[in-house]
Amino acid sequence: MAVLSLTLLAVGCGDKDTDDSGDGATVDVVSEILALQGDETGGEALFASSCSGCHGVDGDSGTAPMLSAKVPDASDDHIVDVMINGIGNMAPVSLENQEAADILAFLRASF
Ligand code: HEC
């Protein structure tokens, strides 16, 4: 059963990374997210539910690195990549594309 679930997971990931045109081209999820218009108000709520557990409610009071020290120098591309792919000791966060765009808008408005 465990093997079956793993297989299904792998298939699920594969689906997410490829477009459905049938040519197997890899869709750049980061670019897709960057093309969206983020909503900073929605992003604030999403930050509270998805990020504040480690980074603190204000982004600077958690166990994870202070976002005020990270966000201003980071490109949009990098921040989105960190959210969806993780970095170092931070695991990827499961987010819809629009949710990631909203959180980015909130971070840009806050730091
Ligand atoms: C389970 C804990 C956890 C959660 C949840 C989490 N982070 Fe992190 N985050 C970390 C840790 C730990 C690091 C430091 C990673 C390292 O450098 O090893 C980090 C690093 C970062 C960095 C800095 C990356 C860099 O270039 O150094 C950013 C930006 C960031 N997180 C944003 C977010 C956002 C936005 C969310 C919510 C979508 C989020 N994090 C959710 C733990 C978390």
**Atom 9 in ligand 1: which residue has the minimum CA distance?**
90
50-91: pLDDT as tens digits: 999 999 999 999 999 999 999 999 999 999 999 999 999 999
Predicted confidence (pLDDT) at residue 11 exceeds the cutoff of 60: no
Predicted confidence (pLDDT) at residue 7 exceeds the cutoff of 80: no
Whether the full predicted model's pTM is greater than 0.85, yes or no, is no
Counting atoms of ligand 1 from 1, which one is nearest the CA of 71? 29
Q: Name the residue ranges covered by the structural domains of the chain.
A: 2-110
Counting atoms of ligand 1 from 1, which one is nearest the CA of 93? 38
Predicted confidence (pLDDT) at residue 2 exceeds the cutoff of 80: no
Instruction: Please state which architecture CATH assigns to domain 2-110.
Output: Orthogonal Bundle (1.10)
Nearest to 46 by CA among 55, 81, 12: 55
CA-to-CA dists, residue 35 to 5, 32, 38, 69, angstroms: 33, 5, 9, 25
Q: How far is the CA of 65 from the centre of ligand 1 (A)?
A: 7
Q: Ligand 1 pocket test: which of 54, 63, 94 has the largest number of ligand atoms within 8 Å of its C-beta?
A: 54
